[in-house]
Amino acid sequence: MDLEKVIVTGGGNLSQVSERQTVEGVPQQVVTINANTNINFDLMRIFSFGFFRPNTPGLPYHAATFFVGYDYGRNMLITYNIEENVHTPRVGLTLKRDRSSLSLRTGVDYRHRTRKEYIDYEESERDRRDDVYIENMAISPQFKEVDRGYSFSVLYETDIQWLYNAFSSLYKLVAFPIFSIEYSLLLNRYDYTRTVSPEPYDQHLVTAKLTMDLHKNVQGGLIARWALERYRNRQTEGIAREIMSYQVGLNFTLVF
């Protein structure tokens, strides 16, 4: 729905995966339901002061949007008798000035796992064909496992006119090169009662990209990533393991 100052979008899906991971293994079945909604506010139409001035010829282009989103997912692990419900509220802000933009986003994941008897444990109540699943299932008392995750990211993007001008003396690019740099933070906190894995986890990730339209049918660029991963002790939350990694890559895409 487009309400001029506010745009509301929504969606959902239903999927089922049935697979046998090994030839002689027991088939597994997972059914997933997802629903999501986003509300985008056009701040340029809501406010009319300072940065939110009207766009007029001769002045740098301005834009500002604020969004609130919510995702819901239900994972029904049929052959494990486990149900997982995932709630993810999100908020974000994007500011654009002329040919540059700055985006900030944050969200919280809340996962709740519990026992759900899709296949009845009582022999007299279930189909004989389901016996094979019960035989390979870890039967446990009622339980609750909670997984909390927190995410944050900031992205800056702009074009590089001086690089375009430098290339123009040798070869004229189709468009201005675009440079972006993003920092993202992921914090996962677990309170599992039946399992000891995965461990509480932190991830710091910096990604830089340079994209250039070398030709109307060829797009290429450079990408570099730096990541710091920290695995924490569940009881003390102290750092148990730390991994630092780097990546540098070159890519190109053919467009027809």
Cα(11)–Cα(36) distance, rounded to whole angstroms?
A: 5
Dihedral-angle region of residue 81 (phi above 0 means left; psi in -120 to 50 means alpha; beta otherwise): left
| Confidence (pLDDT) at 235 | 78
3-state secondary structure of 63: strand
Query: 6 with 40: CB under 8 angstroms?
Result: yes
Give the pLDDT band (50/70/90) at residue 68: very high
Query: 83 with 111: CB under 8 angstroms?
Result: no
Cα(187)–Cα(147) distance, rounded to whole angstroms?
A: 11
Cα(151)–Cα(177) distance, rounded to whole angstroms?
A: 29
Nearest Cα neighbor of 90 from 180, 134, 6, 151 is: 151
| Confidence (pLDDT) at 206 | 97
Averaged over 158-162, what is the pLDDT? 88
pTM of the model: 0.77
Give the tens place of pLDDT for each residue, 101-145. Answer: 999 999 999 999 898 988 888 888 888 888 888 888 876 678 888
Query: 119 with 81: CB under 8 angstroms?
Result: yes
Extract the tokens encoding 250: 């070159």
